[in-house]
């Protein structure tokens, strides 16, 4: 089991991985279409975008959550 203190980084890792995977797939297919190079180009784009997305979510996530909470709580 993962200790609770790692919940935020693990959440960020999974969220950033999933979202960057989906977005880079759609963007790659839109840019170059489906073909023999699509998978390799997609993986290249994903390997660049995942660490960036992870850091952004890790840093900005708590601030965004507080802002949303302030706008949605009564």
In percent, how much of the chain has pLDDT > 90? 95
Of 12, 25, 22, give the one whose Cα is nearest residue 52.
12
| Contact assessment for residue 27 and residue 49, using Cβ atoms and an 8 Å cutoff | no
Q: How confident is the model at residue 56 (pLDDT cuts 50, 70, 90)?
A: very high
pLDDT, residue 73, reads 79
Of 22, 16, 19, give the one whose Cα is nearest residue 8.
16
How many residues in total does the chain contain? 74
The pTM (predicted TM-score) of the whole model is: 0.85
pLDDT, residue 54, reads 98
């Amino acid at each position: 089991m993962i200790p609770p203190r790692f919940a935020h980084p693990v959440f960020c890792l999974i969220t950033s991985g999933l979202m960057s995977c989906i977005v880079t797939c759609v963007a790659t297919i839109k840019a170059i279409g489906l073909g023999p190079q699509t998978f390799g180009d997609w993986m290249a784009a994903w390997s660049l975008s995942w660490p960036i997305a992870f850091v952004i979510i890790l840093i900005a996530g708590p601030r965004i959550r507080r802002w949303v909470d302030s706008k949605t709580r009564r």
